[in-house]
Amino acid sequence: MPVDVNTEDDRWGDLEPLARRSCAAALRYLGYDPALFEISILACNDARIQTLNAQFRGKDRPTNVLSWPAWDLAGESPGAAPAPPEPGTPDMPEALGDLALAWETCEGEAREQGKKLDDHVAHLMVHSVLHLLGYDHEHAADAHLMEETEAAILATMGIADPYSSLDGPPDDAADTVETYIGKV
């Protein structure tokens, strides 16, 4: 799977193997050939992601992950599956978009939630790939679809369902994603 990782913060180490595995798992689960798509990843720190969050979302605070889809593939109505992406070829994979991860926020969330950092980062990458593919969590029906899909993909990777600790249905499913992943 073509994944272009730009590491601005050395604390990330070699993120490429985990990025390839996570992104490919998401694409394969949804029936897409990972070799036909490309994703760019910025592995940065909180200061850099805060700048990006302010610039692109008007939120002047760090966050764990940001996503920039190349295409608008959103479903036609809340809870509807997104449109399929147009694949490229192995020689010219189609760019799905970009994502950025912030070291301090990701590491702190993993520690606070008692998770392995790699498992948490894999979850964030799967979450972001779903955003690149048109999934969202703005409405409860969309959040439900996205959370179920994330959990199923993570299960194929041997990673526990990050939402399994919920004590019943949330009042606002969009808040569930933000509670368990962070302020995305």
Q: Which helix (H) or strand (E) holds 54?
A: helix 46-57
Distance between CA atoms of 116 and 183, rounded to whole angstroms?
19
Q: Which pair of tokens denotes residue 71?
A: 């295409």
This prediction has a pTM of 0.89
Domain CATH number, residue 134: 3.40.390.30
What pLDDT, on the 0 to 100 scale, is given for residue 1?
83
What pLDDT, on the 0 to 100 scale, is given for residue 169?
38
Distance between CA atoms of 177 and 181, rounded to whole angstroms?
6
Closest CA to 71 of 146, 138, 131, 10: 131
Q: Which pair of tokens denotes residue 145?
A: 């679809």
What range defines the domain where residue 80 resides?
A: 3-181
Contact 24, 127 (CB under 8 A): no
* pLDDT values of the chain reduced to their tens digit, one per residue, 184 residues: 899 999 999 999 999 999 999 999 999 999 999 999 999 999 999 999 999 999 999 999 999 999 999 999 999 999 999 999 999 999 999 999 999 999 999 999 999 999 999 999 999 999 999 999 999 999 999 999 999 999 999 999 999 999 986 544 344 334 334 434 443 4
Q: What Rg do the C-alpha atoms of the chain give, in angstroms?
A: 15
What pLDDT, on the 0 to 100 scale, is given for residue 166?
52
Q: What is the DSSP string of 57-90?
A: HS--S--SEEEEESS----SSTTPPPPPPPP--S
What pLDDT, on the 0 to 100 scale, is given for residue 182?
45
Contact 178, 184 (CB under 8 A): yes
Q: Domain tally for the chain? A: 1
